[in-house]
Structure 1
Amino acid sequence: MSEHILETQNLTKEFKGFVAVSNVNLSVKTGHIHALIGPNGAGKSTVFNLVTRFLTATTGKILFEGRDITTTKPADIARLGMVRSFQISAVFPHMSVRENVRVALQRATGSAYHFWKSATSLNELNARADDLLEQVGLLSHADALTVELPYGRKRALELATTLALDPRLMLLDEPTQGMGHEDVGRITDLIRKVSANRTILMVEHNLSVVSRLCDRITVLQRGAVLTEGNYEQVSADPQVRAAYLGGSHAA
């Protein structure tokens, strides 16, 4: 297994002359929870979109498990094991919680689009679905309609549907955004729990979440890497305090 599951080399993205991401060299260590933080406009979401190929880099290279994926299609990247949660793992509001996870499991078994099948033919997936729901604390809600779930539990369900794809690298784009304090704590605990034997790269504006979860943090400013290290190192950096911690905490 490679020491670094994801690497970018001089990753750059220009939009009609505006440089949104400039020569970003990112190394995400296998088994780590790695955060991208920075103020508004720092380039965090653009980096996410580049590494998952929702955007095409102007220059630079992206490596996943040592494989060059700079020109690989997003769907193929997901099949390789890099899954972007809360976006490609959308839930179906008028299906039950269990049915949502079962649909995600269908994709993993190669029958994702066989919606013409009878529901009973999918019952073999119920045990695995329930196991995933138990992991995220939703087993007691398995038969509930997804639309009836509170917001925080919908995010937990999205996490379960992502886990159904058995990712080796999970990319979480602001997983606690819009949550109250109790839900933030619950989702933070869930991320820690499901990170076992997995690698996570996350954008997160809540610095308390970052300090609790992350092994390594990359700070972006104006599209470039400002500094990198653990939470104690980056939070003590005067440049980080001036650019981010001392100002608005919005991401």
Structure 2
Amino acid sequence: MSNVILETRGLTKEFNGFTAVNSVDLQVHTGHIHALIGPNGAGKTTFFNLLTKFHAPTKGQIFYQGQEITPLKSNQIARLGLVRSFQISAVFGHMTALENVRVALQRGEGNSYHFWVPQRRLNHLNQRALQLLCEVGLETYASVLAVEMPYGRKRALELATTLALEPTLMLLDEPTQGMGSEDVDVVVELIRRVSAGRTVLMVEHNLSVVSRLCDRITVLARGAVLAEGDYASVSANALVREAYMGKEADEVHA
């Protein structure tokens, strides 16, 4: 299908006889925000690791924009526009927000590992870095060290560095993990804003976030797909409620 940007067919990962991901068929449609949810140990992060080739699949295939990418390496996949963020904020604490984004922009020029270069050689990246900070609401933090930023702002900074890599498909791993409600609201609006013209696949435990953001939801349990659909249909599924949502689903659905 032409509107499917990412597809897995029978994707499976076994570790010493334990099946962490079990024959998962998934289709992510262009322009959608698609959530992957499930209880702890359901295989969500392992599935992300397979997509970005931190793990090699035991069997199965991965297709991106109609091209099979199963044999590719992590850096090759990122260059295609499939870019991932992680559960733990991954920014350089003793660099400013602008410098963090500038490092990500350097990657596009092939010199991201050249940290010790004269400032003047990087100034041409400043305008684009500031634009990206503005896009995630961090324009006033440009000169602030990342280590001094509130946690929610660090996650926004990580989102800016992800955008610097010009992703077509963004993989967000627990983007609101560890946040208070105020920061969650900010990040939800940021994801909604930056998803314009892009596709997002996200792992997320916060069901309120999922209900507010996502076009489609896939539920994993014991490594396999348990259910799929929009939030209303998934939250009403008795098997899903038993396996994962339980009382929390009743509260959110109400």
Q: TM-score range by the shorter chain?
A: over 0.9
Residue in 1 that maps onto 2:185: 185
Residue in 2 that maps onto 1:208: 208
Asked if structure 2 preserves the Cα contact closer than 8 Å seen for 1:98 and 1:142, the reply is yes
Q: Does 1:37 align with 2:22?
A: no
Asked if structure 1 preserves the Cα contact closer than 8 Å seen for 2:104 and 2:164, the reply is yes
Aligned mates of 1:175, 1:149 — CA distance in 2: 16
Residue in 2 that maps onto 1:176: 176
1:248 CA drift (Å): 7.2
Asked if structure 1 preserves the Cα contact closer than 8 Å seen for 2:87 and 2:175, the reply is no
Residue in 2 that maps onto 1:229: 229
Residue in 1 that maps onto 2:252: none
Q: Does 1:127 align with 2:127?
A: yes
1:246 CA drift (Å): 0.6
Residue in 2 that maps onto 1:97: 97
Residue in 1 that maps onto 2:79: 79
Asked if structure 2 preserves the Cα contact closer than 8 Å seen for 1:12 and 1:20, the reply is yes
Aligned mates of 2:215, 2:111 — CA distance in 1: 37
SS at match of 1:95: coil
Asked if structure 1 preserves the Cα contact closer than 8 Å seen for 2:132 and 2:160, the reply is yes
Residue in 2 that maps onto 1:244: 244
Asked if structure 1 preserves the Cα contact closer than 8 Å seen for 2:89 and 2:154, the reply is no
Asked if structure 1 preserves the Cα contact closer than 8 Å seen for 2:36 and 2:204, the reply is yes
Counterpart residue type for residue 91 of structure 2: V
Write out per-residue CA displacement over residues 194-231 of structure 1, whole angstroms, 9 at most, x where no aligned residue. 00000000000000000000000000111100110000
Aligned mates of 1:182, 1:19 — CA distance in 2: 38
Asked if structure 2 preserves the Cα contact closer than 8 Å seen for 1:106 and 1:112, the reply is yes
Q: Does 1:70 align with 2:67?
A: no
Residue in 1 that maps onto 2:6: 6
SS at match of 1:217: strand
SS at match of 1:94: coil
Aligned mates of 2:72, 2:89 — CA distance in 1: 19
TM-score scaled by length of structure 2: 0.94
Alignment: residue pair count? 249
Aligned mates of 1:70, 1:92 — CA distance in 2: 31
Does 62-71 or 110-119 show the bigger shift?
110-119
Residue in 2 that maps onto 1:20: 20
Aligned mates of 1:150, 1:248 — CA distance in 2: 28
Asked if structure 1 preserves the Cα contact closer than 8 Å seen for 2:87 and 2:174, the reply is no
Aligned mates of 1:125, 1:161 — CA distance in 2: 13
Note closer, same or farther for the CA distance 1:178–1:89 as it changes in structure 2 (3 Å cut): closer
TM-score scaled by length of structure 1: 0.96
Residue in 2 that maps onto 1:117: 117
1:71 CA drift (Å): 1.6
Aligned mates of 2:73, 2:20 — CA distance in 1: 21
Write out per-residue CA displacement over residues 52-73 of structure 1, whole angstroms, 9 at most, x where no aligned residue. 1101100100011111111210
Asked if structure 1 preserves the Cα contact closer than 8 Å seen for 2:7 and 2:63, the reply is yes
Write out per-residue CA displacement over residues 72-93 of structure 1, whole angstroms, 9 at most, x where no aligned residue. 1011111111001137983111
Asked if structure 2 preserves the Cα contact closer than 8 Å seen for 1:216 and 1:231, the reply is yes
SS at match of 1:102: helix
Q: Which runs of 5+ in 1 are unaligned?
A: none
1:110 CA drift (Å): 2.2
Aligned mates of 1:18, 1:247 — CA distance in 2: 30
